Amino acid sequence: MKNTPPETTPFFARDREWHPPAFTPGYKTSVLRSPQRALISLEGTKSEITGPVFGHNIIGEFDNDLIVNYAKPGEMALGERIIVYGRVIDERGVGVPGALVEFWQANAGGRYRHKKETYLAPLDPNFGGFGRTITDENGGYAFKTIKPGPYPWPNGVNDWRPAHIHFSVFGHGFAQRLITQMYFEGDPMIWICPIVKTIPDENAIKGLIAALDMQNTIPHDMRAYKFDIVLRGRRSTFFENRKEGN
């Protein structure tokens, strides 16, 4: 990043066949929250190509360790100890350095620390359920946590969410802003989840499933899951845009 001038070209068009559509009646809440009219296309102007940059100074020492960041001194969160790591890259495969990555999740029993959460599974007094980090010069990131549990939710009579971690990611332009969820390899709950099933393309779903990585597992301590996040790519600067209307 140090020696590379910032890129100023527009982003690749978003593939809206790949993302979930707004209206997905199997996920009931989307019914009244989905715009019904066509989006108006707006190829990136300065307002979309630019974006905020967050300095490493906002990150606290334990922000990337959910096992201890809410725990009482000397204590730890309960659950299967895991490392989640990966790279934030763009559609060209280029690492995205300096990207702010925020994450939040339920505890090992599938319970969120939230006032409106009513699931009977207990809170873990040592688990807050959120953290954040900023990617390194190659786009790499890592954090420690416990594997979240699956939980029931009010949609269908018997709908359950698979174990998952929510991710919020900033790239280099506001048009890259993305929120998504990470799932875990081998979880049979993935394929019956109404929220997962809002995604029409099976390969797009597979792209959200983190792989168990025994090579990066720390023996006798914690297993590792690899989760790469892909943000929109941006055009090369071969030729300038022809001026509109000319």
Partner 1 sequence: MVQPLTYFKESASQTAGPYVHIGCTPNFSGITGVYDTDLGSGSMVNDQTRGERITIRGFIYDGAMTPLKDAMIEIWQADADGYYNSPSETRGKADPNFFGWARQPGDMATGEFAFETIKPGKVPFRDGRLMAPHVTFWVVARGINLGLNTRMYFSDEEEANAADPILSRIEHRVRVPTLIGKREGNTVTFNIYLQGENETIFFDI
Closest contact distance (angstroms) between CB of 158 and partner 1 is: 19
Which one, 176 or 224, has the nearer CB to partner 1? Answer: 176
Nearest Cα residue to 102 out of 167, 183, 188, 179: 167
How many other CB atoms sit within 10 Å of the CB of residue 32?
A: 7
Q: Rounded distance, CA 53 to CA 39, Å?
A: 28
Residues in region 84-103 near partner 1 by CB under 8 A: 89-93, 102-103
Q: Rounded distance, CA 89 to CA 99, Å?
A: 10
SS3 state of residue 200: coil
Interface with partner 1 (CB under 8 A), residue from 81, 138, 180, 223:
180
Number of residues in contact with partner 1, rule: CB under 8 A?
92
Closest contact distance (angstroms) between CB of 187 and partner 1 is: 15
Which one, 158 or 246, has the nearer CB to partner 1? Answer: 246
Nearest Cα residue to 14 out of 242, 246, 232, 237: 232
Burial of 11 (0-12, 13-18, 19+ CB in 10 A): buried
With binding defined as CB under 8 A, does residue 192 bind partner 1? no
Residue with tokens 């360790």: 65
With binding defined as CB under 8 A, does residue 6 bind partner 1? yes
With binding defined as CB under 8 A, does residue 246 bind partner 1? yes
With binding defined as CB under 8 A, does residue 74 bind partner 1? no
Residues in region 132-161 near partner 1 by CB under 8 A: none
Closest contact distance (angstroms) between CB of 214 and partner 1 is: 24
Interface with partner 1 (CB under 8 A), residue from 85, 130, 141, 225:
130
Interface with partner 1 (CB under 8 A), residue from 77, 148, 172, 184:
172
Hey, which residues are catalytic here? 112, 151, 161, 164, 166
Which one, 30 or 138, has the nearer CB to partner 1? Answer: 30
> Do 146 and 80 meet the contact criterion of CB atoms below 8 Å apart?
yes
Residues in the chain: 246
With the C-alpha atoms ordered 16, 168, 100, 85, is the resulting torsion angle positive or negative? Answer: negative
Q: Rounded distance, CA 215 to CA 192, Å?
A: 30
Residues in region 25-64 near partner 1 by CB under 8 A: 27, 29-37, 39-54, 58, 60, 63
